[in-house]
A and B are shown apart, each in its own frame.
Chain A
Amino acid sequence: MSGVAAGSATAGAARGAKSQGRPAGFLRVSEPVRAYWPFAAPAVVVVTAVIAFPWLFTLWMSLQEWRVGSARSFVGFSNYARLLSDPRLVDALWHTLVYTALAVILPLLFGLVAALAFHRRFPLRGLVRGIFILPMMATPVAIALIWTMMFHPQLGVLNYLLSLAGIPPQAWVFDPRTVIPSLVLVETWHWTPLVMLIVLGGLAALPTEPYESALIDGATRWQTFRYLTLPMIAPFLMVAAIIRTIDALKAFDIIYAITQGGPGTASETINIYLYSVAFAYYDIGYGSAIAVVFFALIVALSLVLLHLRQRTKWIEAGAAA
């Protein structure tokens, strides 16, 4: 949905960890720093209204038995207890984890390869790069629609392409066994460019000295990549992994537009199930409990990855020196 903000947002933690080293004389001699609060005040009001209020309200609702149209009653944590014994939620959790694992690893792999290619200089690089990043900028519903046509078992172009390679036709998103890999194919196509851009930015920031010494020492190209480039861009790969994890866990548009979680519930992720509970069954209380646990899952996985990123940081510090 909104991977566009991704690059910027996830680096927030990284930014928070670093201190900005500008002398603060101007601020100190004149007025306290608080003088800048009025600039932020309107945004604080907006953020409180559309982000903080919904959050607190969701927490409160998750403690209620509440269906739209019927009376509301306080039930404590019983919505959360219900989560544990909901087989459809357990299935959805499993689908979400499989989908996320694939939709993180594959774009990371292809994005890395693409970044290495785009790091070289060649004619028309800007144009080629522009074409390459089109998928991530395109409106997800619009591309989902075209993919749906391409997946069509009889008329779809994908089965035609397979037939050229001598591979028998597939049912793609119409078979419970292949639906998740097929959706991951779309997700990978959609988001590999973002990984490429992040890694490309990392490559551009690498120092040249180690490469010169490697050249003198007669290192092969593979050795240079394995022992120089890869460790030095590891922090950027981690950033990309964090962004991809958050986005893949939250994936909605493409899954909903192509399969609505089907066939049956074969591609129903937590987010899709949450949509059904809240806006098809109007079970507001239970839906809120799912939303809270879902958010906790996203934060937990992000923190694990952030922790891993901190461990790769010393390499980054070495690279910056």
Chain B
Amino acid sequence: MTLRKAIDNLGLALALAVIVSPALLFFLWMLSLSLKYEIDNTAYPPVFIPTKFAWENYVTVFRSNAFGLFFMNSIIVTGLSTLAAILVGVPAGYGIARMKAVKASVVVLISRMTPGLSYLIPLFLLFQFLGLMGTLWPQVITHLVLTVPIVIWVMIGFFEATPMELEEAAFVDGANRWQIFWHVALPIARPGITVGFILAFINSWSNFIFGVVLAGRTTRTLPVAVYNMLTFEQVSWGPLAAAALIVTLPVLLLTVFAQRQIIAGLTAGAVK
């Protein structure tokens, strides 16, 4: 029996090693590429751990082609569109949950099914008409397509699950609905707001398609900037891999530190 258990555990360990290695090895390889000189990156057979680390790849990225500007663009676009989504999405999630307007969530579903490009054609024309092209506003506004439905969805689920007794008690005490929302419902829902914020942030930060269409030379966000490095400016792999790692690092760190909230948010609807 114990032998069988030992074999069983060994099997599980082996299975897990196989399951996790594509993810683990990929990111280690990404790190390796970003820390190697060109001579190691083009060596065959490939060098996994170089004898000399090329830290300067990172310096190159930060120095070259307005990386700071693109970083700020990303912060502004993602920051504003996520904050705006929290501002309108949290009350909306509350209202929809309390009205039991479950059909309203169909909007979320439709927005999920719609290809990003079909928003972009009309919005592109609209922004041109309004003379907004060349500013960050088109991207901030378009990213609302991503962030608002996520926040609404997470908040509906959250407010549906919060107990009504406290709100009823506050109502009996003469509080109006805004006071109840602000002083009773909102404090309880804080973890839900965190989940909505994280998911909206990640989605907006990683978005590429809106930037490809709407961003100009000075309004690129990081994913677009990195893509342009690949096609136009850089040929050496080290700085390219370093740039790729810098772009995705905030999201990876969020995943590591907020794994629980992210999983809760992602599976909340699906597992119901």
> Given that A139-B251, A149-B237, A284-B125 are known contacts, is A1 also in contact with B41, CB under 8 Å in the complex?
no
CB distance from A71 to the nearest CB of B (A): 15
28 A-B contacts, Cβ less than 8 Å apart?
A4-B150, A7-B268, A8-B268, A12-B108, A16-B102, A36-B96, A40-B104, A43-B92, A46-B84, A46-B148, A51-B110, A110-B19, A122-B13, A130-B259, A131-B20, A133-B255, A133-B259, A138-B206, A141-B206, A157-B46, A189-B26, A257-B208, A278-B121, A279-B120, A292-B118, A294-B118, A295-B114, A298-B115
Is B42 a contact partner of A53 (Cβ separation < 8 A)?
no
Q: Which of A4-46 contact B (CB under 8 A)?
A: 4-16, 18, 20, 22, 24-27, 30, 33-40, 42-46
Contacts of B42 in A (CB 8 A): 155
The answer to the question of B2 belonging to the interface, with a C-beta cut-off of 8 Å to chain A, is no
Q: Which of B1-59 contact A (CB under 8 A)?
A: 12-13, 15-16, 19-20, 22-24, 26-27, 29-30, 33, 41-42, 44-46
Is B248 a contact partner of A143 (Cβ separation < 8 A)?
yes
Cα-based distance from A265 to B240 in the complex (angstroms): 26
Contacts of A266 in B (CB 8 A): none
Is B117 a contact partner of A42 (Cβ separation < 8 A)?
no
Is A54 a contact partner of B118 (Cβ separation < 8 A)?
yes
- How many residues does chain A have at the interface if contact means C-beta atoms less than 8 Å apart? 111
CB distance from A149 to the nearest CB of B (A): 6
Is A20 a contact partner of B16 (Cβ separation < 8 A)?
no
Cα-based distance from A278 to B124 in the complex (angstroms): 10
Contacts of B41 in A (CB 8 A): 155
CB distance from A312 to the nearest CB of B (A): 14
Contact mask for chain A residues 52-83; partner B; CB cutoff 8 A; 1 contact, 0 none: 01110110010000000000000000000000
Is B263 a contact partner of A197 (Cβ separation < 8 A)?
yes
The answer to the question of A205 belonging to the interface, with a C-beta cut-off of 8 Å to chain B, is yes
The answer to the question of A211 belonging to the interface, with a C-beta cut-off of 8 Å to chain B, is no
Is B92 a contact partner of A40 (Cβ separation < 8 A)?
yes
Is A39 a contact partner of B148 (Cβ separation < 8 A)?
no
Is A139 a contact partner of B269 (Cβ separation < 8 A)?
no
Contacts of B45 in A (CB 8 A): 160
Partner of B181, one of A11, A39, A143, A150: A39
Contacts of B120 in A (CB 8 A): 278-279
The answer to the question of A315 belonging to the interface, with a C-beta cut-off of 8 Å to chain B, is no
Cα-based distance from A275 to B119 in the complex (angstroms): 12
The answer to the question of B146 belonging to the interface, with a C-beta cut-off of 8 Å to chain A, is yes
CB distance from A9 to the nearest CB of B (A): 4
Name the 5 nearest CB pairs between A and B, nearest first. A39-B95, A11-B269, A43-B92, A201-B271, A291-B118
Q: Which of A105-142 contact B (CB under 8 A)?
A: 110, 113-114, 117, 120, 122, 126, 128-135, 137-142
- How many residues does chain B have at the interface if contact means C-beta atoms less than 8 Å apart? 115
The answer to the question of A236 belonging to the interface, with a C-beta cut-off of 8 Å to chain B, is yes
Cα-based distance from A18 to B266 in the complex (angstroms): 19
CB distance from B199 to the nearest CB of A (A): 5
> Given that A134-B27, A155-B41 are known contacts, is A139 also in contact with B12, CB under 8 Å in the complex?
no
With contacts A54-B121, A154-B44, A295-B113 known, what are 13 further pairs, Cβ within 8 A?
A5-B153, A27-B98, A40-B96, A43-B152, A54-B122, A145-B230, A146-B241, A189-B26, A205-B271, A252-B116, A288-B118, A294-B115, A295-B118
Partner of A257, one of B171, B177, B230, B266: B230
The answer to the question of B130 belonging to the interface, with a C-beta cut-off of 8 Å to chain A, is no
Is A197 a contact partner of B105 (Cβ separation < 8 A)?
no
Is B141 a contact partner of A8 (Cβ separation < 8 A)?
no
The answer to the question of B103 belonging to the interface, with a C-beta cut-off of 8 Å to chain A, is yes
Contacts of A189 in B (CB 8 A): 22-23, 26
Q: B22, B45, B118, B244: which has the most chain A beta carbons within 10 Å?
A: B118
Contacts of A8 in B (CB 8 A): 108, 150, 153-154, 157, 265-266, 268-270
Is B150 a contact partner of A198 (Cβ separation < 8 A)?
no
Cα-based distance from A278 to B212 in the complex (angstroms): 13
The answer to the question of B188 belonging to the interface, with a C-beta cut-off of 8 Å to chain A, is no
Cα-based distance from A110 to B262 in the complex (angstroms): 21
Cα-based distance from A13 to B94 in the complex (angstroms): 19
Is A39 a contact partner of B92 (Cβ separation < 8 A)?
yes
Q: Which of A157-172 contact B (CB under 8 A)?
A: 157, 160
Is B270 a contact partner of A298 (Cβ separation < 8 A)?
no
> Given that A137-B262, A252-B209 are known contacts, is A39 also in contact with B248, CB under 8 Å in the complex?
no
Is A132 a contact partner of B109 (Cβ separation < 8 A)?
no
